Structure 1
Amino acid sequence: MDWKDLIDLLQWPAMAVTLIAGFLVASRHARTRILGFWAFILSNALWVTWGVNDKAWALIALQVGLFAMNVRGIFKNEKGAPEGA
């Protein structure tokens, strides 16, 4: 198995991390939501790595946009979002 085959396998952990991140972001607790946004950022990196290997330029552009929204989500949650709200 060469490195291209290994990178191609990244789509599975990227998918799993994306699902976990979505679950965490749906939490009522700000700390858990922040952890979810960080998980989304990890998934963005995994998808970009896979996308470069597959030349999936639209997917890469999408991940860059989602990365920006995830960073925004982290800052919005750190500014005192009430716990349990």
Structure 2
Amino acid sequence: MDEFIDFLQWPAMLVTLTAAYLIGSKRAERRVFGFCTFILSNVLWIVWGIHDEAWALIALQTALMVTNIRGIFKNEST
């Protein structure tokens, strides 16, 4: 299981990059999907951070998740 968690940082990085690409879209639907993708990356980073006891990373990802949730609501209102 430890090897799987160690490997998790690579999919987390790819999901984060994909989300960043989607956020740059002119279409609101894609931006919302980008924020949802960012939330998935936040969860992946938190899981990895718990395993490695990276408490600052966990705090950062939690705060970023809140901003991503806010981004979803801000996009739906435009």
**TM-score range relative to shorter protein:** over 0.9
Which one-letter code corresponds to 1:76 in the other structure? K
- RMSD over aligned CA atoms reads 0.4
Tell me, yes or no, if structure 1 residue 5 matches structure 2 residue 23: no
What secondary structure is seen at the aligned counterpart in 1 of 2:26? coil
- Bigger fraction of residues in helix: 2
Partner residue in 2 for 1:28: 26
1:1-85 pair list within 5 angstroms = 3-79=1-77, 81=78
Higher gyration radius (CA): 1
In structure 2, distance between residues paired with 1:43 and 1:9: 14
For structure 2, the residue ranges without an aligned partner over 5 or more in a row are: none
In structure 2, distance between residues paired with 1:66 and 1:29: 22
TM-aligned CA deviation for residue 28 of structure 1: 0.5
Q: How many residues align?
A: 78
In structure 1, distance between residues paired with 2:17 and 2:58: 18
What is the TM-score of this pair, normalised by structure 2? 0.99
What secondary structure is seen at the aligned counterpart in 2 of 1:28? coil
